[in-house]
Structure 1
Amino acid sequence: MKKKISLGCLGFLGILTIIAVIMEVLGLNPEPKDPHPDPAIDEEVEQATVTKVIDGETLEVKIKDNKKKRIVRLALIDTPSKDQPYGKKVLRFLKKEYLGQPVSLSFDKIKKDDQGRLWAYVREFEYIQEDLLERGLARVDVPKGEWESYQIEEMKEEEADAKKERLNIWKYKGYVQDGTYHPDVYKQAKAKEKKKRLQKAKRERERQKKLAEKKKRLAEQRKKEMKIKRELADKIDPDDYLSFRQKRKARSRDKDDDRDCWHFDSWEEAQAFYKYARGRDRHGLDLDRDGIACANLPLEGDYDDD
């Protein structure tokens, strides 16, 4: 009896398996519904071409199937009008990137706005809405009504990132507030920027002026010193180097030991050594061969050049 029951159960399970296979083949198995459907792959998707950019969130498109032109409102975003700051920038961007391009239109639960324009998610490679939001050229704006789009949160993330980086409409605090734009805030911020820029330019001009004056003073001082050095060049006694050497405790004691200008504490000492070496400039102290050694070294004494 137990054996018969076991065979009967196996037969029943086999029948269920066969039924399941048949339903699978015929596509009768119900698939679980996606709780967050992507509007871009919704059944109501239209292929179109952007034929005109009307404003920052309104496009004219030609539907591929019926060749009809429709006015499309970009869903869930708002941009400045063309007479407001950044409005023209939005228009330039849309015309450059999307005018004449093929796009797909997908729709949410609300199909039209109060002006009869189609509410749509417009996509080329990515949604235009997200493209604008991530550049700080639009803000998220959810109209009253029942919206099922899961994209709202994603758009808010794009908006938050642009706001954090202070891109375009988010650059000046207070320009976007209370669900609208405030050109007066923008103008005040730009005026402050201009004032700071002018102040910075003024400081730079003053710095350059002082630098030029300093260079002029140094040039005059050098000219004066060179005049003195030319007058003293022949008067300096070569034997003065010996007293310099004792006074400075020179590193080398012989005139043939190598010297550089930095070995000397003053021009007088360098010139005395130059003459002490009997004019043989193997040390390279007088590169321009004008008879004055280490011309850049300072004078030790105070001289009246009058």
Structure 2
Amino acid sequence: MSLSVIFNKSVLVGVVCLAAISASAYVIWGTRSSEPVPERVTGGEVKRVISGDYIKIEPDGRVKYAGINVPSAEDPLGAKTMELNRKLVDGKKIRMRFDETEKDKEGRWLAYVFVDGEMVNKRLVAEGLAYVRLKAGERRYAQELLAAQAEAREAGLGLWEKPVRSTEPRYPGDRKHGAFHRPACADVANTRPGNEVVFRNKQEAFDAGFAPCGHCRP
């Protein structure tokens, strides 16, 4: 057998072995399963009320109420919001419905929470203890929530006890985050192109489902 034939056979064997290794690698990497998609949550039992719009349930963990924004713990109305939320849901079985965005950046479920057929998110707004805040992906019940807010404002409840007064010539808003600001607020510069909106007064912002910025507090 000539040297050239031996060389060609060696090359052929090498190519076959390389192909086999490549095929094996393809099988291992190509069939690697992706992370499972979490199942849609439909309900659970409330084990702890953390704030006016934040609870823990079993079996699925932490839940943040979608479409609304409640007063901070430092606000005089914060304690009332917490008290009502506890009264409505603590220790009870709830049903949850979801919007386009099912979880926030902290990994909490974003949900419209129902107890005995009543939407808790809407009840807090109707009592004047929460603003409507229609962030991107949280607008499923926009009309219901805005109607409840208008009624609470008309009745002068909670957050609406004092008339809405505009002290700035305009109020820049961010459609993605559903918030409006004072013109000098540092957060205005963080609004991405296409998400900007400007309101002539605070009333326009509230009617559109925007809540006051927590930093500049317009």
Question: Which residue, out of 106, 110, 119, partners 1:119?
Answer: 110
Aligned-pair Cα RMSD in Å: 2.5
How many angstroms does 1:146 deviate by? Answer: 3.6
Per-residue deviation, residues 178-230 of structure 1 (Å, max 9, x unmatched):
53279xx9xxxxxxxxxxxxxxxxxxxxxxxxxxxxxxxxxxxxxxxxxxxxx
Question: Which residue, out of 144, 153, 157, partners 1:154?
Answer: 144
The residue number in structure 2 matching 1:129 is 121
Per-residue deviation, residues 11-41 of structure 1 (Å, max 9, x unmatched):
xxxxxxxxxxxxxxxxxxxxxxxxxxxxxxx
Structure number with higher strand proportion: 2
Aligned partner of residue 86 in structure 1, secondary structure: helix
Task: Using structure 2 for the length normalisation, give the TM-score.
Answer: 0.56
The residue number in structure 1 matching 2:65 is 74
How many angstroms does 1:45 deviate by? Answer: 4.8
In our comparison, the structure showing a higher alpha carbon Rg is 1
Q: Note the residue ranges of structure 1 that are not aligned, 5 or more in a row.
A: 1-42, 186-306
How many angstroms does 1:51 deviate by? Answer: 1.0
Aligned amino acid, residue 163 of structure 1 = R
Question: Which residue, out of 130, 140, 143, partners 1:138?
Answer: 130
Question: Which residue, out of 101, 107, 111, partners 1:110?
Answer: 101
Task: Using structure 1 for the length normalisation, give the TM-score.
Answer: 0.40
Gap change, CA 1:168 and 1:80, over 3 Å in 2: same
Aligned partner of residue 108 in structure 1, secondary structure: coil
For residues 148 and 96 of structure 1, the distance between their equivalents in structure 2, rounded to whole angstroms, comes to: 26
The residue number in structure 2 matching 1:62 is 58
Identity %: 27
8 Å CA contact retained: 1:80, 1:181: no
How many angstroms does 1:85 deviate by? Answer: 2.1
Structure 1 residue ranges (4+ consecutive) displaced by more than 4 angstroms after TM superposition: 174-178
Gap change, CA 1:73 and 1:49, over 3 Å in 2: same
Aligned partner of residue 115 in structure 1, secondary structure: coil
How many angstroms does 1:106 deviate by? Answer: 1.6
* Higher RCO structure (Cα 8 Å, ≥6 apart): 2
Q: Note the residue ranges of structure 2 that are not aligned, 5 or more in a row.
A: 1-38, 167-179, 182-210
Question: Which residue, out of 159, 167, 181, partners 1:169?
Answer: 159
Report how many residues are paired.
Answer: 134
For residues 160 and 145 of structure 2, the distance between their equivalents in structure 1, rounded to whole angstroms, comes to: 15
8 Å CA contact retained: 1:111, 1:118: yes
8 Å CA contact retained: 1:59, 1:72: yes
Aligned partner of residue 159 in structure 2, secondary structure: helix
Structure number with higher helix proportion: 1
The residue number in structure 1 matching 2:212 is 180
For residues 117 and 96 of structure 1, the distance between their equivalents in structure 2, rounded to whole angstroms, comes to: 22
Question: Which residue, out of 100, 112, 118, partners 2:91?
Answer: 100
For residues 87 and 81 of structure 1, the distance between their equivalents in structure 2, rounded to whole angstroms, comes to: 5
Gap change, CA 1:76 and 1:147, over 3 Å in 2: closer
The within-5 A match list for 1:35-50 is 44-50=40-46
For residues 106 and 75 of structure 2, the distance between their equivalents in structure 1, rounded to whole angstroms, comes to: 22
8 Å CA contact retained: 2:52, 2:83: no
Aligned partner of residue 90 in structure 1, secondary structure: helix
